[in-house]
Amino acid sequence: MNPNLDAWSADLASIPYPPQIQCVDRGITGSGFYPGARNCLFGDVAAPGVVLLGRDFGTLSYYSSLTKKPGRGEHALTWRHTRDIYVRHLYSARVFCTNYLMGVRVDGSAKGDLRECLSPIEWEKFETACWNFLQKQIAETKPSLIVVFGSDNQRDLSRALRLGEPSKSLLYAPHPHSAIGEKNARPHVLICEEIKRRLAL
């Protein structure tokens, strides 16, 4: 799994972003989620591939602050938990960290469902384009397993069984933001173990 992310730029830019969302393309040179971070692929290129699918990248102010710091990666709680619980323990796999909804929020907080910030017409057009772009990402990365984070993603992606039924190649998981404290982190640790089991790592 070694996609040419530069080749995705034109498709990324062609998404019909509503006024509340701005397109970004790997302006952060450190580690984090695509499309914000340049370093979003981890592990052995020849190893079994897994996609860790977040919701959206967050806010423009967060993104912009990191683009001004060469080599600096993400520091948001979602990324720290994803890195510490999943990426670091899946070193024998090829891991691609991406988001379902592209772009960053121009204003406001990174919390809350982005869907609620848009009109129904804006949402339908934008979400459909993001779904189409996700299909491109999956087609080109050909992962052995897709891990979908969070209930909002599950709601949108289980509609019409877009990714199919939960199976050996599809796993729904809580949002990494929830992994605060040992008790809340435990479900994520178990999911990580299940990922390793399914990939025979």
**Structure-model confidence comparison of residues 2 and 123, the more confident one:** 123
pTM: 0.94
pLDDT of residue 119: 94
Pull the structure tokens for residue 150: 């969070």
Say which CATH architecture domain 5-198 belongs to.
3-Layer(aba) Sandwich (3.40)
* Residue 31, beta-bridge partner list: 39
Q: Where are the domains of the chain?
A: 5-198
Higher pLDDT: 109 or 141? It is 141
Q: What is the largest CA-CA distance in the chain?
A: 44
For range 113-136, the mean pLDDT: 94
Q: Which of 101, 78, 92 is closest to 173 using CA atoms?
A: 78
Alpha carbon 73 to its chain centroid, in Å, reads 15
What percentage of residues in the chain have a pLDDT greater than 90?
A: 79
Query: What is the tens place of the pLDDT at every residue in 78-107?
Result: 999 999 999 999 999 999 999 999 999 998
Position 189 scores a pLDDT of: 93
